[in-house]
Amino acid sequence: MISEKEYRKRRVRLGRKLKPMSVAVLFAAEPKTRSNDTEYPYRQNSNFYYMSGFKEDKSALVIVKGAKKFHTYLFVAKKDKTQELWHGKRLGKEKAKELFLVDDVFEIDEFEAKFKEFVDKKQHIYHDFTLEYAKVKVLKRYTKNIQSYENLASYVERMRLIKSKSEIKLIKKAINITKKAHHRAMKRAKKLQYEYELQAHIEYVFKKNGAYSDAYTSIVACGNSANTLHYVNNNKKLMQGNLILIDAGCEYEYYASDITRTIPVSGSYTKAQKEVYAMVLHVQKEIIKMIRPGIFKSTLQKKSEELLCQGMIDLGILKGKCKELIKEKAHKKYYPHGIGHWMGLDVHDECPYKKPNGEEIALQQGMVMTIEPGIYLDAEDENIPKKYRDIGIRIEDDILVTKNGCENLSCAIAKEIDEITRMSNSIR
């Protein structure tokens, strides 16, 4: 768990970045309607949670800065017995004062009046430009004399790039639970009939181990379904002789994991499947070896494209010289996505890849990113040798940048051909 002291340190760091005579506001996420009068399970706004650690809706965090000093205020929902009967207990103002290291706590009903006080004689407003909540309109109602509006989200998301020890611990916990889920899938796939059955086994493990939410909608794609990158129907039969691409990760205490493995339905890979799998795995290992502080993600991307393109030439999937094929972007037909992305509070962490001046941000110690090369060979593509058609393979791990290199946080999840084969054929 992350301590309240760490949340306070984040607020102090943010407060120091703000211009004098300013007010910064972060709002909690609003509940989202699923249909009619039912809602999706509530999930807090990641930036608000990063700065506050508060999980309830109808709340806000405000930093008010004068010439030099700043104060922090938390707004929470009022305790209401009738509402709590239907929707659960609220923390309330008094309890929040005990738990959170802020200068004061108010009820959210007071927000408009308090904000009017806060902005008096202030010159700058910071808020999340992406939000369209009703209360965002309040920010503009009382800010006629404001000189500038700045996107607070960009400040918070830059802070989120570097993970603390506490954050890394939570990510490791999420990955450990996801490891159990993927291993269960490997052991059970042979005996199941449909993709959704395998999905149920995976998400059962998540919840059984305290991860009450998946980090994203699980992909369980058998055969040619794997060649649809965001396939989430998960309703096809598990056909003997095919591969299953499983992209699934849980969220533990708001921190994500993101793992992909590609396993055989029957428990063993065909010769052609082994050839493609071994090529993708080789590329992934080579890219992971490159990760260290100072290297750029674009460098990893370029190298992954070169290696995968050459691998496809060697297998006869592409014909020609590697440099020319890359120049023509011929390889993009079979490798259309990036080598990876930031990961943390969001599975695709909303952190920048470039500085405000447009320069790319180099990898630094404490960053966490995925590495996920893939090859997608559609069953109907007659340009591909017949033996390789109907194969989609992606292998994805979660990587922490360390002082002198990197650590594969998900290395304990089986991915070698022999490892997966043994696990797929173990008696369970």
155 catalytic residue (yes or no): no
pLDDT, tens only, 117-149: 999 899 999 999 887 655 666 776 776 778 898
From the candidates 71, 188, 201, 337, which is the catalytic residue? 337
Catalytic residue selected from 341, 349, 388, 390: 341
Show Cβ contacts of residue 211 under 8 Å, excluding neighbours closer than 6 positions: 174, 177, 250, 251, 252
Known active-site residue 341 = yes
The residue annotated as part of the active site, out of 167, 376, 397, 398, is: 376
| pTM for the model | 0.96
Name which CATH class applies to 4-159: alpha beta
Mean pLDDT of 138-162: 87
- The pLDDT score that the predictor gives to residue 130 is 80
pLDDT at 389: 97
Is 258 known to be catalytic? yes
- Which is the catalytic residue, given 167, 258, 305, 398? 258
16, 37, 98, 132: the active-site residue: 37
Catalytic residue among 230, 359, 380, 418: 230
pLDDT reported for residue 427: 62
Determine whether 286 is an active site residue.
no
Whether 71 sits among the annotated catalytic residues: the reply is no
Catalytic status, residue 419: no
pLDDT of residue 1: 87
Give the C-alpha separation, 14 to 10, whole Å. 6
Q: What pLDDT does residue 316 have?
A: 98
Residue 314 among the catalytic residues = no
Catalytic-role residue among 157, 167, 195, 247: 247
Out of 8, 43, 188, 348, pick the active-site residue.
348
| Domain spans in the chain, listed from the N-terminal domain onward | 4-159, 165-424
- Winning range, highest mean pLDDT, from 36-40, 124-128, 372-376: 372-376
Q: What are 170-209's pLDDT values in tens digits?
A: 999 999 999 999 999 999 999 999 999 999 999 999 999 9
- How confident is the model at residue 426, as a pLDDT? 83
Known active-site residue 372: yes
66-115 pLDDT per residue, tens? 999 999 999 999 999 999 999 899 999 999 999 999 999 999 999 999 99
If you average pLDDT over residues 338-367, what whole number do you get?
97
Distance CA 197, CA 125 (A): 50
Is 396 an annotated catalytic residue?
yes
Does the pLDDT value for residue 234 go beyond 90? Answer: yes
For 279, other C-beta atoms within 10 Å of its C-beta total: 21
Q: Are 220 and 234 in contact (CB under 8 A)?
A: yes
pLDDT at site 146: 87
- 394 noted as active-site residue: yes
| Strand (E) or helix (H) holding 398 | strand 397-401
Active site residue 34: no
Q: How many CA atoms lie within 13 A of 347 on its CB side?
A: 20
Superfamily of domain 165-424: Creatinase/methionine aminopeptidase superfamily (3.90.230.10)
Out of 128, 157, 396, 397, the active site residue is: 396
**What does the pLDDT read at residue 356?**
92
Neighbours of 346 (CB within 10 A): 20
